[in-house]
Structure 1
Amino acid sequence: MDGMKSQDLVVLLKLVSIQEGESEPTPGQPQPRSQGDDPYSVRNLEALLGISKTEINASIKRSLSSGLATKDRNTGRANPNRRNLNNFIIHGMKFVFPAKPGAMTRGIPTAFAAPMLKGLLVSGGEYIYVWPFADGHNIGQSVTPLFRSVPEAVQKDDRLYEYLSLIDAIRLGNQREAGLAGERLSESLLKK
């Protein structure tokens, strides 16, 4: 079995977002679905994330193998193991998938510049972090997203956007920033 890939986290966090959407729908934001499909289907995940069905299947296998997901006995689908996922993101993410700010570019705000995290931390830096995206409305230091389709995927799902922004805050932040992002991530992921 191949080692973990960064898109595995995108897939797992999308599954978390779908679960949360079923348990507590956000007013004004319907959970996006493909033509009546099971929201957990590989075809639906492909449409929502821009990751191929083959790669989604491989990602789910890697997540099951690593313990970041478990198989539901009744439905047979993969369920994110939220505790393990939370621990991995907080304690290992920075080392396994490090992020380095790049050149100034147009894009979608991430880390503490993301709209839902803005104001949580007053940054000493003058520049925000963005995922490069030609249709973005903000200019900032580029940060390579965990998977190339992330900028498109987060426009369809605010929960996924928040989770991936928190991950970037952990990957990019100093100890205080990463700690604050980790607390917020734990509150969201482990609330069930």
Structure 2
Amino acid sequence: MTMGALDDPIGWAAAQAAADPVRRRVLEALARRAAALPPGALREQLVAKLVRRARAEPAPLPVRRATNSASPLTELVARLRAGASPELRHVQAHHRTWSALRLSRRMAEVSVPVPEHLGPLNSQVLVARALQQLQALSPDYLQRLLTGLDTLAALAPPQAAADKPARPVAKKAPARRR
């Protein structure tokens, strides 16, 4: 252990050249903690840890992948599509058409006239209006939104009214006469 590190840990840590700012901050924090302690075994242990950290070889920085390289999942999907049967390729070719047909069917359901007596702030009226405006602004986004909603609806457990028992009707007690 270095005697200068034991006497003045903060000055010793400041004199160490650490190119990595995180590493430098760790050394400074250890030095401050050691300097705050009175001389003794605990301070010596912290200074020893400080010296070990300062002399240790810095960890290599992670190498980033090139942005144009494919991820393993992308490579797997590409291999599956390349070896796909003719039926699967046929389904993939018509997927966009089927999606457009499903969207037009869903929009026809939404576009059904809403009764006027509900008022302009009724939730059914507001949802219908919002979906119609969304179709005009961004049909692709609307298609993805409806696909996501269909997926959530398929995942939700069925909540049939027949499954729930009817609540018993509470009988009112006869009114008392005074």
Task: Identify whether the pair has TM-score above 0.5, normalized to the shorter chain.
Answer: no
Give the structure-2-normalised TM-score: 0.20
Say which structure is richer in strand: 1
> TM-score normalized by structure 1?
0.19
Q: Larger % of helix: which?
A: 2
When Rg is computed on C-alpha atoms for both structures, the one with the higher figure is 2
Greater RCO (CA < 8 Å, at least 6 residues apart): 1
